[in-house]
Structure 1
Amino acid sequence: RATHSRLGGPGRWLLATPANYVGGLQVLTRAQLAGAAPTTLDIAEGFRPDAFAAATRDLVGAPGPHSEGPYYTALVPTQLARLLAAGPEAVEAAAAYDAIVLGGARLDDELARRAADAGVHAVSSYGMSETASGCVYDGFPLEGVSVRLGEGDRIELSGATLTHGYRLRPDLTAKAFTADGWLSTNDVGSFHDDGSLVVLGRIDDMLNTGGVKVPAAGVEAALTAHSQVRAACVVALPDVEWGERIAAVIVPEPAVPESADPASGDEAPGDRPPPQARGDLDEELRALVRERLGRAAVPKLLRYVPELPLIGPGKVDRAAVRAVFED
């Protein structure tokens, strides 16, 4: 109900993420509350922008409650990025929604800008299974939710969306909740001057190099601000001299050749930057991080991969990313 209140009232929902995760489950719950059966996108064989466009047409064209909208869906940022890169039909479908709630991973500034330029209303959400999915939208808590910063700027949440605890694990429940009933998350944050929450990253993703603490999410945001970077993941590797050294895995943005069909999703072998161009891109990326976050935050190692390894919808498998540097 709080989601509908924030977005513009009850409406129709497209389920485009797995229903066995809390984000997908919440789409079904919202559809039930709205009294309109959800349209379901089959993602058993992966997410395809053309299938998303077809499902959107079904959603908008079906008779019944809320036939005039509003229309909503929930995606992870990787899905949104693929829609924006897939061509006019996919972008038009994304723009048909009154709001697309983004969760599962951080929505970086560059992707948010590209969505806005394309007329897509993307809403960044922050939450987790313990909060019944996203409970902070675009930095501001939903009605009935409160946010504060605890020790070490750890994000703490309260409100009716919280779990009562972990089943058969009173030890975990006692560890996760403060004495006054707030959920103590594993994320670090800060507040903008307007009071909106900024999620800096998970506590265990804070990097410490040469005694300087660097948020991995901040380095990733700087890297993905480059036009030739689709996605990035930053991790810490053991280092005798620095304690930890910063390493980054980069998914380069493909260049679409004139002969390619943007909606096909296919990439020719030459779509990605050739090896001889990587040196220049390396330097540009390091300069971008240095300018935004300072010298200590600059990655000492960069690797390029076709896609980031995932664990769950939109969540990067950082252990697998670290393994990239073991080769």
Structure 2
Amino acid sequence: MSTLRLVPGTPDAVLSALSGVLDGSGTPFAPLPPDPADAARVRQAAAPDEPLEDGCAVVLTTSGSSGEPKGVLLSRDALIASATSTHDRLGGPGQWLLPMKPYFVGGLQILTRSVLAGLAPVVMGESFSAAAASMTGPRRYTAMVPTQLARYLETDLDALRSFDAIIIGGAATPPGLKARAAEAGVTAIPAYGMTETGSGCVYAGEPLVGTSIDFDDGRILIKGPTLFSGYRLRPELTAEVLRDGWFRTQDRGQLVDGRLQVIGRLDDVVISGGVNVTLPSVQARLLEHPAVADAVVLGVPDAEWGSRVVAFVVGDAGRDELRDFVAEVLPRTWAPREVVPMSALPMLASGKVDRRRLLEGVR
């Protein structure tokens, strides 16, 4: 078995280590975030002193936005399959701009695509527009999280328009944001995927070539060459989620007009006062309110209700107004019992909302 090498999570260090594993000259590695606490979690999940499972090229640690971080084993073949199928979907290889952290799968795969395309990636500095203007490739691509897209639509619209395609991942893209991008002439493609699927494997609801989608009582199942090999030193957990070649995600979904529609996580349905409440539906409705800039809805343990529905909202609307707004299209029993006003939602480095931090503030 191989040993695992820890490398700094900087673009240059990750690119160098990645180039080595892709051409067969390097050794498996795990990138370390600069934050000491995050680096400690990576060290724990990656377990560099333990023998490494066969076939692993990279160990990435999940963000732990809603649970315990895990070391995800990605093979060289999975990395290449993801990058190749992405280029095929977008219309061919191109030059990539990196505005994301390279120690998460979205950023790492931007570097993988760059290596396979033979074009140096452009690493974003303080200015998105300046980085975009420095690109020289015949086709230009980037990837970002929804919050970045929303920001750049306000501040860097011309730069956004200069890209042949922009992959949006890391979190669900609000319908209003997709509409704004389309109206502005920006080619933004929502992607669904995760570290275990080698980054996005479903673009605009359609699986990439080689990827198959199925369902088990609403649970999304994924099969294909981009899948991870397992969790680092967690064979029991691997056996739970990898069965007969299918990855059993923690998300619920359905096909609508032949396209995958992600409804939410399996744990996004809570029982409040004896009523099943689908939290993503409440959140989606709140985001339709003209005075709400951003929102996330969570279930908080409650001695009286079992779970109480709490909305964390960036905007000017008050609790009663938002409850009435939700109740116009959803059952009033689904309306949030508590609304927490915020100037901004706390985010993890991966671009996902830090749910644990929000819950700590209301318990």
Is TM-score (shorter-chain normalized) higher than 0.5? yes
**How far apart, CA to CA, are the structure 2 residues paired with 1:313 and 1:292?**
33
Alpha-carbon deviations, 1:145-169, whole Å to 9, x = none? 0111113x11110000101212222
Matched, 1:57 2:57: no
**How far apart, CA to CA, are the structure 2 residues paired with 1:98 and 1:32?**
19
In structure 2, the residue matched to 1:324 is: 361
Alpha-carbon deviations, 1:263-317, whole Å to 9, x = none? xxxxxxxxxx4xxxx43xx444323322333223211111111111122321111
In structure 1, the residue matched to 2:327 is: 290
Q: 3-state DSSP class of the match of 1:92? A: helix
**How far apart, CA to CA, are the structure 1 residues paired with 2:235 and 2:250?**
18
Shift of 1:33: 1.6
For 1:1-327, list aligned pairs within 5 A. Answer: 1-42=84-125, 51-59=127-135, 62=136, 67=137, 69-86=138-155, 90-151=156-217, 153-178=218-243, 180-192=244-256, 194-252=257-315, 273=316, 278-279=317-318, 282-326=319-363
Q: 3-state DSSP class of the match of 1:100? A: strand
**How far apart, CA to CA, are the structure 2 residues paired with 1:117 and 1:209?**
39
Shift of 1:218: 2.0
**How far apart, CA to CA, are the structure 2 residues paired with 1:293 and 1:136?**
29
Q: 3-state DSSP class of the match of 2:209? A: coil
Alpha-carbon deviations, 1:214-262, whole Å to 9, x = none? 332222221112222221111112234432121100112xxxxxxxxxx
- In 2 relative to 1, CA 9–288 (structure 1 residues): closer, same or farther, beyond 3 Å? farther
Q: 3-state DSSP class of the match of 1:53? A: helix
The letter of the residue matching 2:238 is T
Alpha-carbon deviations, 1:187-222, whole Å to 9, x = none? 111221x12111111122222223333332222221
Is the CA contact 1:200–1:215 (under 8 Å) kept in the aligned structure 2?
A: no
State percent identity of aligned pairs: 47
Is the CA contact 2:94–2:139 (under 8 Å) kept in the aligned structure 1?
A: yes
Is the CA contact 2:297–2:312 (under 8 Å) kept in the aligned structure 1?
A: yes
**How far apart, CA to CA, are the structure 1 residues paired with 2:261 and 2:274?**
23
Q: Which moved more, 1:204-213 or 1:309-318?
A: 204-213
Give the unaligned 5+ runs of structure 2. Answer: 1-83
The letter of the residue matching 2:251 is D
Is the CA contact 2:212–2:223 (under 8 Å) kept in the aligned structure 1?
A: yes
**How far apart, CA to CA, are the structure 2 residues paired with 1:70 and 1:289?**
43
Is the CA contact 1:147–1:156 (under 8 Å) kept in the aligned structure 2?
A: yes
- In 2 relative to 1, CA 141–288 (structure 1 residues): closer, same or farther, beyond 3 Å? farther
**How far apart, CA to CA, are the structure 1 residues paired with 2:104 and 2:117?**
20
The letter of the residue matching 1:325 is V
Give the unaligned 5+ runs of structure 1. Answer: 43-47, 253-272
- In 2 relative to 1, CA 71–320 (structure 1 residues): closer, same or farther, beyond 3 Å? same
**How far apart, CA to CA, are the structure 2 residues paired with 1:118 and 1:284?**
30
Q: 3-state DSSP class of the match of 2:231? A: coil
Aligned length: 280
The letter of the residue matching 1:236 is G
Is the CA contact 1:233–1:321 (under 8 Å) kept in the aligned structure 2?
A: no
**How far apart, CA to CA, are the structure 1 residues paired with 2:206 and 2:333?**
31
Is the CA contact 2:197–2:228 (under 8 Å) kept in the aligned structure 1?
A: yes
**How far apart, CA to CA, are the structure 2 residues paired with 1:212 and 1:138?**
32
- In 2 relative to 1, CA 8–133 (structure 1 residues): closer, same or farther, beyond 3 Å? same
- In 2 relative to 1, CA 85–207 (structure 1 residues): closer, same or farther, beyond 3 Å? farther
The letter of the residue matching 2:119 is A
Q: Which moved more, 1:305-314 or 1:110-119?
A: 305-314
